[in-house]
Amino acid sequence: MILPIFLIFSLLSSTSNAAVQDFCVADLTGPDTPTGYVCKKPAAVTVDDFVFSGLGAGGNTSNIIKAAVTPAFADQFAGVNGLGISLARLDLAVGGVVPMHTHPGGSEVLIVISGAICAGFISSSANKVYFKSLKKGDIMVFPQGLLHFQINAGKTPALAFVSFSSERPGLQILDFALFANDLPSEIVEKTTFLDDAQVKKLKGVLGGTG
């Protein structure tokens, strides 16, 4: 009888603790710890902490992937800290691509604002691929942690906005993880079944060594 009462009390206690503060605006001048940023003192919080204007301008797509992602995560937008939400802007030039990547910390929802985007993800259980060409107004969800991609599927630049179920969803791009590091080429070759020339070419393109 005591154990169920204790569990109920613990649940109620943790719930009330979570609701003690209305928000936890990140103190970006403080340390970035494994559990995130500490909260700003309430007296130092202003309305500007809850407003972010960085998604109004297009990002620079003059790069190897012809794409730009402008984030509004806790590191840029202190007001979302602790709320489990964030946003980003995606600009894709003609021929632009966001290569296969994953967000280990959150799920993603994408809405196309203009242009056409081919987007998809791969399930972890059966490696089943789900992809579709999206047009203006279409929305697609990408479950947390699954490999996914976006490609400009049209002849004009494409714009999309994405939301995440985390204020810091994280990002790992598969191509860069494999070829933009100092892992010896022979190990990459054994784990990817690519030959030496292919691995060294990709390392050269993406800035890897070894």
Q: Residue ranges for the binding site for oxalate? A: 103, 108
Q: Two tokens at 73?
A: 């995560």
Residue ranges for the binding site? 101, 103, 108, 148
Pairwise CA distance, residues 156 & 164, whole Å: 26
Q: Measuring CA to CA, which residue among 128, 111, 112, 129 is closest to residue 120? A: 129
Residue ranges for the binding site for Mn(2+)? 101, 103, 108, 148
Q: Looking at the chain, how many residues does it have?
A: 210
Q: Two tokens at 140?
A: 């697609």
Helix (H, G, I), strand (E, B) or coil at 63: coil
Pairwise CA distance, residues 166 & 103, whole Å: 10
Residue 9 CB coordination number (10 Å): 10
Pairwise CA distance, residues 136 & 204, whole Å: 37
Sheet holding 139-142, edge to edge: 67-72, 86-92, 158-164, 108-114, 139-142
Alpha-helical (H) ranges within the chain are: 2-18, 174-179, 185-192, 196-206
